[in-house]
Chain A
Amino acid sequence: MSAPSHAPESAEQPEAAAAGVKAPGGRGDADSRSLRQIAWQRLRKDKVAMVSGVIVVLLILAAIFAPLLAKWFGQPPTQFNQDLMEPNSGLPYADPNNTDPAPGEMLPAVDNWGGISGDHLLGLEPKTGRDLFSRIVYGAQISLLVAFLSTLLCVALGTLLGIIAGYKGGWIDTVISRAMDIFLAFPLMLFAIALVGVIPSGFLGLEGNGLRVGVIVFIIGFFNWPYIARIVRGQTLSLREREFVEAARSLGASNRHILFREILPNLITPILVYSTLLIPTNILFEAALSFLGVGINPPTPSWGKMLSEAVDYYATAPYFILFPGLAIFITVLAFNLFGDGLRDAFDPKTSD
């Protein structure tokens, strides 16, 4: 019956890595990497996510530098080029210098490619002859602006209410959760259409497209926050049971400290990931509203509006429907794929 003698000192070296079956190689830098650094390294290996990430960045840059791009590669988005357009069909002339009908023809020849040329990279808008490239680039401005602002509003509202509901529980949770159900039950699209018509110009000192953007952002943000709030609430419910929260309480930490210093840092990843997935939904929503004519007012270019105008020309000028459609498609897909990639990179369960 002897007392246990000396324990194996080598069994736990100070630099021992966390995971039990960690490879001996590459261990040194695994130690000091933060979760975000690990996620970044994983993201870098995810080709799809990286390509879509680059596209997202390019789109944002394009939106910011739309005036420059329009200046270099086109012309202002509202400048008419009716001299280039054949007035009857509304399509660009095949040869603007020769606008007479060919012998035996009733009308002058029109360009089957929509007037794509060195001056107009994506061709010309039917009827007005405005430069399609600069309209699409400017359209990105509106799309992304609305999407980002409304997502920001969703995240702010959703995080705050979700974290409070999850942490406080009890009747507060009940009230917030029922509110979420009610908000999600609202027919959002109808509500938006109604509200756009009802709010008078000059409301809150906003008018024109400023007001329209404000209303759309408000509607999307105010009715979509429950999606974020639900996720945040669920995460908070499980986080608050974790021992580190009890540990903080036993150190005498206040509720505010626990909510914002202990729990919130653990929520940033799901919020970030969900936001990147919410952005494309909001882009589509703005496009839909503009398509229905309650979004952005002309002449400011907007992808949705361009689509709705293109519908009239789908038989004669398919390119006109193609480019704004592609712009929406690529943007939404890039954000979605990038969001998926982010989620995989941050999720420890999809370990490689």
Chain B
Amino acid sequence: MASTEPVVRVDDLRVAFPTMDGDVQAVNGLSFEVPAGGALGIVGESGSGKSVTSLALMGLHRGSRAKITGAIEVAGQNVVTATDKQLRAMRGNDIAMVFQDPMQSLHPQYTIGNQLVEAYRVHHPKASKSVALKRAVEALDRVGIPQPEKRINSYPHEFSGGMRQRVVIAMGLMCDPKVLLADEPTTALDVTVQARILDLLDELRRDLGMALILVSHDLAVVAGSVDEVVVMRHGVAVERGDVRTVLSEPEHPYTRALLAAVPRVEVSRAQRRAQDRADRVEKEQRAGTVTDPARFEAFTPVPTDGEPLLQVEDVAQRFKVRGGAMGRSTDFWAVNGVSFDLYKGETLGIVGESGSGKSTLSRMVMRLLEPTRGRVVFEGRDITHMSERALRPLRRDVQMVFQNPYSSLNPRVTVGDAIGTALRVQGERDTKKIKREVQELLDRVGLQPGHYNRFPHAFSGGQRQRIAIARALILKPKLIICDEPVSALDVSTQDQVLRLLSELQDDFGLTYIFVAHDLAVVRQVSDRVAVMRKGEVVELGDSDSIYENPQSEYTRQLLAAAPLLDPDEARSQRAEREALRAQAV
């Protein structure tokens, strides 16, 4: 810690929101300090109060019904008692904020130059436009936007997500703030872009001597970038300390549990499965229901074991994109020439960044989309162009778990009906039987049979995903396609859902296609992995060899960008990345 006087001081902060059911205490007695030029990470799962805290730091709860007590001091200014004018002078000048979604934090109707100049002239009303413009170009250059003199006249939609986040950061830099507050700055971005933005923030902090407050739900994101970390839960800091100490010797059980739940890219599928099975046996022994480990099916299925369950041959999906010249549509190949075989009992991981075509591919296998080209063969039957009616009996065998448990369950249908629909659609008429089966399944996925009549909104994200899994399971399918099943969930919930999927695979001999962008998660659940980029498979092979000995350049880039939990390793990886980039230039 360099300086003596902290630039941000929060003491016993409490934020409460009045609601119909009484006050909700979003933050409950939080204290921390950030020295000038220091870096603090605030980590917590959704609902822990971390975003509320960052808004409070900016004084952005003014005008809302939030009740704030305690002290917040930013650069000597008391945020809680400051007048609106003082607050405005502080925002942007002393403390600048970078928001989560760069698609929404820039105004779509103004050029970025306009917005940057505006940000400067708000605090320097006497500055001439040319001075402000010069600063804007400098700031863009600083954050690594190529050709800033030209790009300054572009509109936000002309930039990619990562570039937009750079522009937002540049805007934050316009007035040389003492503190940069980044609230989940990389959550909406791909892994490789995330690594670059984090590298940029780290570089800026070191070069400009700004303090950095990095808010994230992901311990691995903050690990390499901060000195000190606060772990929040239910509005309280459960642990606070040096990042190395907290991550290597966590004191609070919650931090320990959180750390244990973070998927690690170095853990292999075999290790993970062995651990899950051991944990399960131990847990069941404690509960008194002993399961024989021998009952689990063979570890890795033999790929040559008879016919593949699913054959995908050279499939492609074309979308017409409007807005070509003269209103003509142009072709966009979301997936192009992908082939793979899938054998019973194995899990194929499909990993790739957004826009790589992984969701389109899974929807083609599911036949929610009809492939433009190629063949999909399930159990020897060509389903590529089968009609919806002919597909209906086959729908029993292939099921899907969707990404967003909030939108994959109909909010107006009770949980029991949502799961039972599958049986009803497939022709089952006996309502008592349906109810019994649904309740059994609810029990199996870790919910209570009594939840039958509840509506989805009464459940947390993890519970909803369990419901979605139960719905996929009720038809006793052979293949389940999981499309980003855990990416909308908190780490600890994510871990539980992954365990459930693994247990179900053991119990029912399920075959999975597991689609995700998180490299670590994919490794832990997949026997084989396909890496996708721009609609094509760059690399396909068994997961350990892909992760330990990647053949393609793109896979190597992805792996280098994966955030690491160990602060020192993360830092050395960052140094490597920077060296590589310097070489490239």
Contacts and interface: CB of A to CB of B under 8 A. Distances in A.
A8 B454 contact: no
B520 to A, nearest CB: 10
A247 B275 CA distance: 32
Contacts of B446: 14
B408 A8 contact: no
B421 A251 contact: yes
B76 interface: no
Contacts, number: 174
Contacts of A11: 45, 257, 261, 490, 492-493, 496
B159 interface: no
Nearest to B475: A251
Contacts of A351: 19
Given A12-B493, A23-B22, A30-B458, A243 B463 contact: no
B424 to A, nearest CB: 9
B395 A252 contact: yes
Given A3-B267, A17-B460, A262-B413, A251 B493 contact: no
A1 B267 contact: yes
Contact of B411 (A17, A35, A42, A45): A35
Given A1-B266, A16-B460, A42 B20 contact: yes
Interface in B378-399: 391-393, 395-396, 398-399
Contacts of A17: 458, 460
Interface string A8-48: 10011010111111110111001111110000011001000
B357 to A, nearest CB: 17
B395 A7 contact: no
A16 B492 CA distance: 14
Most buried by B among A2, A31, A250, A351: A250
A244 B521 CA distance: 25
A346 to B, nearest CB: 11
B305 to A, nearest CB: 27
A234 B257 CA distance: 45
A117 interface: no
Nearest to A264: B412
B130 interface: no
Interface in A41-73: 41-42, 45
A34 B462 CA distance: 20
B266 A252 contact: no
Contacts of A42: 20
Contacts of B271: 1-3
B492 A32 contact: no
A246 interface: yes
Interface in A276-312: none
Contact of B23 (A5, A23, A265): A23
State the main secondary structure of chain B at its contact with A: mixed
A6 interface: yes
Nearest to A38: B457
Interface residues of A, number: 51
B20 A242 contact: no
A352 interface: yes
A87 B356 CA distance: 89
A79 interface: no
Nearest to B427: A252
Contacts of B426: 251-252
A4 B410 contact: no
A249 interface: yes
B564 to A, nearest CB: 12
Most buried by A among B25, B410, B454: B410
Contact of A20 (B47, B266, B393, B413): B47
Interface string B15-53: 001011111111000000000000000000111010000
A26 B19 CA distance: 11
B499 A18 contact: no
Nearest to B417: A261
A169 to B, nearest CB: 14
Interface in A226-253: 242-244, 246-253
Contacts of A4: 260-264, 267, 272, 275, 495
Contacts of A253: 421, 425
Contacts of B402: 243, 246-247
Contact of B258 (A6, A8, A265): A8
Nearest to B403: A243
Interface in A199-222: none
A262 B454 contact: no
B460 A12 contact: yes
Contacts of A8: 253-254, 257-258, 260-261, 492
Interface in B242-273: 253-254, 257-258, 260-264, 266-267, 271-272
Given A20-B47, A247-B408, A249-B368, A45 B20 contact: yes
B471 interface: yes
Interface in B493-507: 493, 495-496, 499
A257 interface: yes
Contacts of B460: 12, 16-18
B463 A16 contact: yes
A20 B17 CA distance: 13
A112 interface: no
A316 interface: no
A174 interface: no
Contacts of B475: 251
Closest 6 CB pairs of A and B: A20-B47, A8-B257, A3-B275, A252-B395, A265-B412, A26-B21
Given A4-B263, A8-B492, A244-B410, 6 more contacts: A4-B495, A6-B279, A7-B260, A20-B47, A26-B22, A257-B421
12 contacts: A2-B275, A3-B272, A3-B274, A7-B260, A12-B493, A17-B460, A20-B46, A21-B17, A25-B21, A35-B455, A250-B399, A251-B399
